[in-house]
Structure 1
Amino acid sequence: EQRHLDYMRYLIDKGSTIIGMDDLSLQTIRILDA
C-alpha cells in the first residue's frame, strides 16, 4: 500500500514538473493520503 502511494507521488511529481501544476499534485496527494 505504502509503496503504491510512493509510486503515485513519483508519477504526480514527475507530471507536475512537466505541466507546472504543483497545487493540483499536492491536492491529489492529500486525497490519496486521506
Structure 2
Amino acid sequence: MVKYRITPLALLSLGIFYTVILVKILSRLFGILN
C-alpha cells in the first residue's frame, strides 16, 4: 500500500476548500434569515 503523506500545501488547499464551502453555507443561511 502506498502511504499518503499530508503536505502543508495539501492542508492549505483543504483549508481553503472547506472555508469556501462554509462561506457559501453561511451566506445562504443569512440570505434565508434576512
Q: Which has the larger radius of gyration?
A: 2
The structure with the largest helix share of the pair is 1
Structure 1: gaps of 5 or more residues: 21-34
Identical-residue share of aligned pairs (%): 5
By relative contact order (CA 8 Å, sep 6+), the higher-ranking structure is: 1
CA RMSD of aligned residues (A): 0.5
TM-score (norm 1): 0.55
Give TM-score, length-normalised by structure 2: 0.55
Unpaired runs of 5+ residues, structure 2, are: 1-14
